[in-house]
Amino acid sequence: MSRPVITLNGLKLVIMLGMLVIILAGIRLAAEIIVPFILALFIAVVLNPVIQRLVRWRVPRVLAIGLLVGAIVLAAVLLLAYLGTSLNELARTLPQYRSYLVVPLQNLEPWLQRTGIGITVDELIKYIDPNAAMSLVSSLLSQLSSAMSSIFLLLLTVVFMLLEVPQLPGKLQQLMSRPTEGMGAIQRALDSVSRYLVLKTAISLVTGLIIWGMLVLLEVRFAFIWGLLAFALNYIPNIGSVLAAIPPIAQVLVFGGLYDALVVLAGYLLINLIFGNILDPRLMGRGLGLSTLVVFLSLIFWGWLLGLVGMLLSVPLTIIAKIALEQSQGGKSIAILLSDLNNR
């Protein structure tokens, strides 16, 4: 019997896949160290255009960085203080929702029995445990106390990155065998990621403010928390806006009734329709070069690898990976698979 012959290309492929698995496993194990660095890097990418604009206005770079970081620290302190107060109030309110659920569940019980589901209100109430939600809020409150030190270290890293920007091109050129092509690829990646992050931040901020204002007008409690949640989750493609809408709608459904919940739902749908389907594609353009399927799969992959920060930064991380793959002959085929050929 003849034995199968392993070709050299097949052996290389197996070795490369093995190395990739080892690298990904190492990144996941070291996520606590890597995630803050990646987050600081992308914050520096967002802030660098502002620093460059101030430098063009003849503001010294060190002073420009100090002013911008000082404004961010002040905003973070005010934000965390107000968020802590809102979370404290939410923690005090949570035990009330169990009693408020009794009436809606009593109305639901006859419908369940008609459909053949033999379950009583008392049995349903047993599955509703406010302690789980309270423990989540308590953990958030405890994390807020240590958040300032984490934010300080993160901003300190951002400051050093911004100070290093003028020297970075020269250092990178000395490391590259083909400086012109390599720097061109890096510049393309920076331009794409910077444009995406700046526009996405602006759109997310406006979305959060409008949702906050809408909930205040509708007299929904904890409107600031839900607006902040909408701002943060808007970075997550495809499902972020849906996840942000669930808690406030559920709260209004429990405390206000079905009609009020439908009004809030209609408001969320209108805002997400305007920003997600009209303004977002028009401002961003369809120039990201990634197919819709790849955007969704990248959300899953980077979320698994880097957690919540990976989900928030899934699109820019995939853009960087695609541009890096385009630089090698073997990676071009993978880059084509990631691309949206309809918009090339």
User: 48 in a domain, yes or no?
Assistant: yes
- Dihedral, 18, 313, 157, 57 alpha carbons, nearest 10: 130
Whose tokens are 């405890």? That residue is 142
Positive or negative, the CA dihedral 340, 341, 343, 344 is: positive
- Written as tens digits, the pLDDT of the chain (344 aa) is 445 545 666 677 778 778 888 888 888 888 888 888 888 888 888 888 888 888 889 888 889 998 988 888 888 778 877 777 776 776 666 666 656 665 565 666 666 566 666 555 555 555 555 554 555 555 554 554 555 567 778 888 888 888 888 887 777 777 776 777 777 777 787 788 888 888 888 888 999 999 999 999 988 888 888 898 899 888 888 788 888 898 888 888 777 777 888 899 999 999 988 887 777 766 655 556 677 788 888 888 988 888 878 888 888 888 888 887 777 776 777 777 777 666 55
User: 213 in a domain, yes or no?
Assistant: no
User: 209 in a domain, yes or no?
Assistant: no
User: 1 in a domain, yes or no?
Assistant: no
What are 214's two structure tokens?
């809408």
User: 89 in a domain, yes or no?
Assistant: yes
- Dihedral, 308, 250, 209, 194 alpha carbons, nearest 10: 20
**What is the H or E stretch that residue 26 is in?**
helix 8-29
The 10 Å CB-count burial string (b at 16+, else e) for 70-107 is eeeeeebeeeeeebeebbeebbebeeeeeeebeeebee
Which residue range is the domain that position 170 belongs to?
A: 32-97+128-175
Show Cβ contacts of residue 26 under 8 Å, excluding neighbours closer than 6 positions.
none
Structure confidence at residue 2 (pLDDT):
47
Q: Which of 168, 172, 192 is nearest to 183 (CA)?
A: 172
Structure confidence at residue 214 (pLDDT):
93
User: 12 in a domain, yes or no?
Assistant: no
Q: Which of 21, 40, 333, 30 is nearest to 163 (CA)?
A: 40
Q: Which of 279, 275, 207 is nearest to 244 (CA)?
A: 207
Q: How many domains does the chain have?
A: 1
Give the C-alpha separation, 119 to 110, whole Å.
Answer: 10
Structure confidence at residue 325 (pLDDT):
79
